[in-house]
Amino acid sequence: MSPRILQEASPSTKPEHKSGGTLFYFLGGIVVLAIVLIFFYVLVLRKRIKRSPQGMTEQKEIRKHIESADMMKMIFSSNQQSGSKEFFSGNLRTINCFDYQTLKNATMNFHADNFLGSGGFGPVYKGKLADGRVIAVKKLSLNKSQQGEKEFLVEVRTITSIQHKNLVRLLGYCIDGPQRILVYEYMKNRSLDLFIHENSDQFLNWRTRFQIILGVARGLQYLHEDSHQRIVHRDIKASNILLDDKFQPKIGDFGLARFFPEDQAYLSTQFAGTLGYTAPEYAIRGELSEKADIYSFGVLLLEIICCRKNTDHTLASEMQYLPEYAWKLYENERILDIVDPKLREHGLVEKDVMQAIHVAFLCLQPDAHLRPPMSEIVALLTFKIEMVTTPMRPAFLDRGARNDDDDEKEHKGLTSPI
């Protein structure tokens, strides 16, 4: 072999350079591998936490809290930006975020002595703030989980987007951990059912009853026709009609309310409401429109006139269901027999009462299209238009298979009350 060839094959600096590069890549590979291993370790650990009951519960609670808080901020922000300045609005009201401890102090830790009643949402308590304001505190039942959370957000969204003198006014809210609370103006005379269902010692004369009837009708007219969004309440009944110190009515409990698309005649949805007040087409087929509220208003109207519950199984069978009994008396030309005896004793304007009963029958028509809109009902009650329609036999459901408590059961997932 020639010296030249031996010289070319001798060691040089190039192999030393190659050895240094190999070390660099080797160390880099170790770092990358370590990062990958750490990533997979964290991923597996997170999965284990999620799979554990405690981990799942904590994550659900955290997620639910964050989503509710974000939803509340979004609702209040959007509603206060757009505002509802259509009716009795004045300056756009401020919705306050209350501290949970403040509401505990105001209600004496939600003491039984301050309990006002219960609704679909949960218990309601009377409270007094440090500045002397009296409030009504509506507390979500913690065991209602997702259903209660949904009603909470629906009620907030609805009540902050509307404003009318015959709708209850929201003062604020509280979100603290699992706590979901709404704070309303306090209504001194509480709810209508205490006066027409509970054998109250306080007599409501016809003038006061008509004031309540007309106020509820105007509140519904606003929800259905005058609000910037078409809203169906879905649970119009005596316990959801609140009365202030002058017995002016305000519709409350919007936990079941639905916003209605303008281009849809009705929605197909699961039944939610109170049996005895529910329109047949909605209770049986799930067809919801504002006509369902109008049917409920017709039942309520008869209750106010008669001062009794729409269903009372302690009475004779032919008298148990109020719309059915009222219609029988109407057919026999004895309709005034259904009027509260105390009203007859204290004198009443027969023309006004007859007009109100006639309106109630129109609201209870079996075909939803035959029930007049609330604007027409208000005009009929105030004699601004003449009564030209003769009502048909009202719609009422077969009650043979129901027990005594069924008419007091509230909504939640029923497809039919029969």
Model confidence pLDDT, tens digit, residues 42-62:
666 555 544 444 434 433 443
| DSSP run (H or E) holding 231 | strand 230-232
pLDDT band at residue 41 using 50, 70 and 90 as cut-offs: low
Q: Which of 128-142, 289-303, 393-407 has the lowest mean pLDDT?
A: 393-407
Looking at domain 62-185, its CATH class is: alpha beta
pLDDT at 386: 87
Tell me, yes or no, if 235 is annotated catalytic.
yes
Q: Are strands 96-97 and 170-176 parallel, antiparallel or unpaired?
A: parallel
Q: Residue 263 to residues 46, 122, 141, 257, 266: CA-CA distances in angstroms? A: 46, 34, 35, 18, 9
Domains of the chain by residue range = 62-185, 193-408
Greater confidence (239 vs 348) lies with 239
Model confidence pLDDT, tens digit, residues 218-275:
999 999 999 888 899 999 999 999 999 999 999 998 888 888 877 677 777 778 888 8
Alpha helix (H) residue ranges in 183-230? 193-196, 206-221
Q: Please determine, for residue 90, whether its predicted confidence score (pLDDT) is greater than 50.
A: no
Q: Which of 70-84, 101-115, 292-306 has the lowest mean pLDDT?
A: 70-84
Looking at domain 193-408, its CATH class is: mainly alpha
Greater confidence (6 vs 143) lies with 143
Q: Is the dihedral of CA 78, 82, 88, 92 positive or negative?
A: positive
Could you give the percent of the chain with pLDDT greater than 90? 45
* CATH topology agreement for domains 62-185 and 193-408: no
For range 374-396, the mean pLDDT = 89
Query: DSSP letters along 325-343, please?
Result: HHHHHHHTT-GGGGS-HHH
pLDDT at 89: 34
pLDDT at 150: 74
pLDDT band at residue 70 using 50, 70 and 90 as cut-offs: low
Tokens of 92: 């756009």
Entry pTM: 0.74
pLDDT at 263: 67
Residue 72, SS3 per DSSP: helix
Catalytic option among 131, 201, 235, 293: 235
Greater confidence (313 vs 199) lies with 313
C-alpha 393/C-alpha 327 separation (Å) is 7
